[in-house]
Structure 1
Amino acid sequence: MSFSIQGKTAIVTGAANGVGLAIGRQFVDAGANVVFADMDEDRLTQEVGELVGDDTQARIFAGDLREKLTQANLLSATLDAFDQVDILVNASRQVIHSDPLNDEDDAVEMLLQQNLMTSLRMTQLISKRMIKQGKDQETGGLGSIVNLSSIAATHTHADLLAYSISSAALDQMTRSMAVALAPHRIRVNAVGFGGVMSASLKQLLKEHPDYRDEIKAITPLSRIAAPSEVADAVQFLASDGAGFVTGQIMTVDGGRTLLDPVAAPAH
């Protein structure tokens, strides 16, 4: 079975930098139509502006996807450009370090909104469209949804309380939506990664260069992965080659979770 996504239409959120950008670019290279969505319009234009045109496979969409109206506008823009949507990648995510004992810290509420609820609402909206466009299709999959999560969902770092909670909630949302959408032949999976050069990790290493060696030391493969290595996993899950895979959290961490380091940065 091929892992091809040639000719399919994908929405990738959080696509202005880091892992989301790598996923969107890889999907374009693989022959998919891609809508790169993010809040940062300037960064979107800078990173993928050269790919965009009326006769190309790529479009950009800028807006705050925490808002339901913005999500609806994103779907409309996708349908206007490509007539359908086959793949949703919820790559919009945020990492906040906070004091877990500070009862005035609202990081948990913020990340549940950003990392969980935005992905949930996007999943609900896009899956309804997938069901509608596939109502006359009796066999085969109707769509694939892939969420980006983290090994922080199961591994504890006190300063990442909010991120850990939102990641764990996203994993459970993935499983629940996989069951709910299975009768409609829509698959829902997630990639839980750690030790990958995401935008948040790149920023963290600027502030704490010593973390680079620490992360390598507790990673059996002894390196930090490129964003493209997460994109490879996402493409597999999005493709028909993963046609019997749903409700799974695929771990991409170079073996870090095998060693269970409690205090290491879970990025």
Structure 2
Amino acid sequence: MNKTDKMTVVISGGASGIGYATAKTLASRGNRLVLVDLDQEKVDQAVEELEGEGHIGISADVTSTDSIGSAFETIRRSFGHLDGVVAAAGIVDPSPSESVSDESLERLIDIHLLGSIRMARAAYPLLCDSAKASIVCLSSMGARLGVPQRLGYNVAKSGIEGMVRTLAVEWVRQGIRVNAVAPGWVKTPAIANLIDSGFLDPTPVEERTPLGRFAEPTEIAEAIAFLLSPTSSYITGQSLTIDGGMTIHFPQ
């Protein structure tokens, strides 16, 4: 990456999981990062661990329009411009569909889908002034497969892919590209907690995946970095599946 390719990028959910892996990947290539997460102490620690200088961490809640608006005002005052957005904030809350609560459904949709919309909407004025504006949202194989006990999650991720296509077409004249990545099973802290609690048995997942393993967060981060970069300048409105072949595999 040469100097003109370096970007200022904001990442929601940037203090852990795929968001943090993406921050580390981008920082190692000389980009300037704004990490947004709920816990200020955690986000400050994440910023301290990044390569390079000039990164900042902001405590904000993606379920609050006011909170996200305040975060982007801080970005505007601090940097004056923005080139990229990664909407990576998310939670998991497995539950049988017949008994899932309204509270769980609303929270999953609010964080994943509406949180991504709030991030994109708040970033829009700053991205309009960038010559290399790009948004990447986190979808999932759950947008394409009927993953059991993930009703709210699957609905939210399906909605994200619809949002990506809509914004890609609507904002193209402003030079803003909008894409998504759709990971399969990734070894994030959230998935590790499900395995440790006994809720998720990793063996069937590995057997079902042609590549025979979970993805590393850095593998998803590399795809996000590609979609943010000018190298992908003719790609918009797409969702890149990164699942080790799971969604194309017909078991025999």
Kindly provide the CA deviation profile for residues 167-225 of structure 1, in whole angstroms up to 9, marking residues without a partner as x. 10111111111111112111000000012112321111111286222211111011111
- Helix, strand or coil at the partner of 1:235: helix
Deviation at 1:163, TM superposition (A): 0.6
Structure 2 counterpart of 1:213? 203
Kindly provide the CA deviation profile for residues 145-168 of structure 1, in whole angstroms up to 9, marking residues without a partner as x. 000111011111231111111110
Shift of the 209–163 alpha-carbon distance from structure 1 to 2, 3 Å rule, reads: closer
Structure 1 counterpart of 2:141? 151
- Helix, strand or coil at the partner of 2:171: helix
What letter corresponds to residue 111 of structure 1 in structure 2?
L
What letter corresponds to residue 32 of structure 2 in structure 1?
N
Percent of counterpart pairs with the same letter?
28
- Helix, strand or coil at the partner of 1:215: helix
Q: How does 1:232-243 map to 2 (within 5 A)?
A: 232-243=222-233
Deviation at 1:72, TM superposition (A): 1.6
Q: Does 1:48 align with 2:38?
A: no
Between 95-104 and 154-163, report the one with greater CA deviation: 95-104
Shift of the 51–241 alpha-carbon distance from structure 1 to 2, 3 Å rule, reads: closer
Q: Does 1:171 align with 2:168?
A: no
1:192 aligned to which of 179, 182, 186: 182
The answer to whether the 8 Å contact 1:4/1:30 transfers is: no
Structure 1 counterpart of 2:191? 201
- Helix, strand or coil at the partner of 2:212: coil
Q: How does 1:19-34 map to 2 (within 5 A)?
A: 19-34=18-33
Kindly provide the CA deviation profile for residues 14-50 of structure 1, in whole angstroms up to 9, marking residues without a partner as x. 0111111000111111111100110022222333334
Structure 2 portions without partners, runs of 5+: none
Kindly provide the CA deviation profile for residues 45-64 of structure 1, in whole angstroms up to 9, marking residues without a partner as x. 33333449xx9231111121
> Partners of 1:115 and 1:70 in 2: how far apart?
16
Structure 1 portions without partners, runs of 5+: 135-140, 262-267
The answer to whether the 8 Å contact 1:3/1:236 transfers is: no
Give the number of aligned pairs.
251
1:88 aligned to which of 85, 92, 95: 85
Between 232-241 and 98-107, report the one with greater CA deviation: 98-107
The answer to whether the 8 Å contact 1:108/1:166 transfers is: no
Q: Normalising by the residue count of structure 1, what TM-score does the alignment of the two structures yield?
A: 0.87
CA RMSD, 1 decimal: 2.1
